[in-house]
Every structure is written in C-alpha cells, then in structure tokens.
Amino acid sequence: MARFTGKSVIVTGAASGIGRASATLFAAEGASVIAADKASTVNDTVAAIAKSGGKAIALEMDAGNSADVKKLIDLAMKTNGKIDVIYANAGISGGTPNIFEQTEDQWKQILQVNLIGPMLAIQIGAPHMIKAGGGAIVCTASVAGLRNGAGSPAYSASKAGVISLVSLAANNLAGTGIRVNGICPGLIETGMTKQIFDRAREKGTDDRIGQLNAMRRAGRPEEIAKVALFLASDDASYVNGQVLPVDGGLSSSLPIIPPKPRG
C-alpha cells in the first residue's frame, strides 16, 4: 500500500516503541517523515528508514517545549512545503501509584510532555494545515486515561486530558478539513514499559503479561502504529473526534478473574 505517497508526516516520540514503528510504517507507505524525539536514538529510526528506501529526517527536540515544537513545524514546512499529518505520540511516565507520594514537579513534567505537548502540536501545526485545506492529527492517549489502574496518577490524568483534547480540538477545528482522533493503547512492550517486561521475565511470569485482557497477551508497537496510520489516512475520512482503545479488549470489561477456555 502507498496511502501516504506525497504526504508530509510528523511523528513525535519516534526514537523507539510506537513512535518508531509509526514513523517506519508511514515512510513505507510513501510519506516524507519528520521523526522527532528528545532521545538521540531518533537518528537510528531515520537511518533504518533510509536503509529501507524511505524518506525521513530526524529532529532532536522536546515535545513539551513550545520553541522546539515551532522548530519541528518549521522544519516540516521547509522540507516538504506542507503538513498533512501530525502524530502527537511523545509521552513519558513516572512516579508511584500513590497520589500522595507523587511530587508537584513530577506532575508538571508529565503534564508538560503528555498533555501540553499534543496541545502545542495542534496549536502551532494546525494553522498550516488549515491553509492547505485540511489534514489529520492523531494523539496517543492511553487506557490509563479511561480508568484507574493502568498508570501513575499524573500519567493517568495527563492521558485523560489527551482524550478530552481530541474531542475539543476536533470541534475547535470544525469546518477546516482537519480531523483529530486518538488512540488508547493498552499494555505495549516499549521503552516505557521495558521494566515491567524485564521484571516478569526475570521472575518467570512473563506468561501472565496481558492476562487481564481478552487477547491474553501484550500488544506490539506495530499494532498501535497500524491504527495510527488508519486514523491518519483517507480510509478514516469520516472518523473525527474519536479515541479508539487498542488494548486487546482490556477496557471492554470490569476486572474479573478470566474463566478458563472450554474445549
């Protein structure tokens, strides 16, 4: 498929995990990608894309810093002359499960990247998309933003904010031709969740990872990336203001002890 041939695409958080998988898939489908991340390994993402024959440029930047976001948008405009897709995926976690143990600074840092970051991408990037007649914006939220129990208080609150941001941005941009949608990933093996997976493997309990969802497994970055590409593509031309859980069925049920399969 080549759904993004001739398209200019920005992906934040592209140094690893979901962002890297998304940048790679966008490029494979013909997009000219600006891959952004605070981590220098975003250059490895671009190198891999180039090796596969794709088009990508790396930018080391802070997704929660307005000056850096402006540099990102300016780079996309300078390189491609337009912006068709923004995937605001960058995010960080941190802190304990106890709200009384999380510090004010932790809250500020997490909200700055996870919630203010996507807002800045929309605020600074959308005007260019409006002038071009439209485009698609996708934001990474989380199942942690839907219900308690999937992240620290600050992380969960930030992702709940992203869910709200998607709906309000879609309506603020009504009539512009820009669609805004989001994704709520479940447990995915990425750099952010590496400790969870490593700890389970050390204990020999890795077969229990993802046991609470109906798929009985964790997800892969590519599985989220494919949904991001769908939402950004013309295949989702009438999908707007929505946030899709991509979690193996986790959010479809209240916490229960899963029954043993019959047969």
Residue 259 is predicted with a pLDDT of 66
Is 164 part of a structural domain of the chain? Answer: yes
Within a domain: 199: yes
pLDDT tens readout for residues 238-256: 999 999 999 999 999 877 6
77-106: average pLDDT: 94
Other beta carbons within 10 angstroms of residue 30's beta carbon come to 16
Q: Is 238 a catalytic residue?
A: no
250 falls within a domain: no
What is the per-residue pLDDT across 57-79, written as a single tens digit (0 to 9) for each?
Answer: 999 999 999 999 999 999 999 99
What whole-number distance in Å separates Cα of residue 205 and Cα of residue 159? 28
CB 96 within 8 A of CB 20: no
| Higher local confidence (pLDDT), 50 or 95 | 50
Answer whether residue 105 is part of any domain: yes
pLDDT tens-digit map of 216-230: 888 999 999 999 999
Mean pLDDT of the chain: 93
Domain that holds residue 234: 8-243
Residue 201, pLDDT score = 67
Q: Which residue type occupies 34?
A: I
Q: Is residue 2 domain-resident? A: no
Amino acid at 232: A
pLDDT of residue 167: 98
Greatest mean pLDDT range, 27-36, 189-198, 212-221: 27-36
95: Cα within 13 Å, side-chain hemisphere: 26
Assign 257 a pLDDT band (cuts: 50, 70, 90). Answer: low
Residue 64 tokens, joined: 């929660």
Structure tokens at 233: 């593509």
Does residue 171 form part of some domain? yes
Measure the CA–CA gap between 17 and 24, rounded to whole angstroms: 11
Confidence bin at 193 (pLDDT 50/70/90) = low
Helix (H) or strand (E) holding 181: strand 178-185
Share of the chain above pLDDT 90, in %: 80
- Give the total residue count for the chain: 263
Read off φ and ψ for residue 183, nearest 5 degrees. -130, 135
The verdict on residue 253 lying in a domain is: no
Which of 9-23, 60-74, 200-214 bottoms out in mean pLDDT, i.e. has the lowest? 200-214
CATH number of 228's domain:
3.40.50.720
pLDDT at residue 200, as a whole number: 62
Considering only CA atoms, which of 53, 55, 51 is closest in space to residue 35? 55
Q: Which of 22-26, 150-154, 231-235 has the lowest mean pLDDT?
A: 150-154
| 116 pLDDT above the threshold of 80 | yes
Query: What pTM did the predictor assign?
Result: 0.93
Give me the number of domains the chain comprises: 1
- At residue 94 the predicted structure's pLDDT band, cuts being 50, 70 and 90, is confident
In a domain, 255, yes or no: no
Residue 138 CB neighbour total at 10 angstroms: 26
Catalytic residue among 73, 155, 185, 219: 155
List of E strands, the chain: 8-12, 32-37, 55-60, 85-88, 135-140, 178-185, 243-246
- The rounded percent of the chain whose pLDDT value lies above 70 is 92
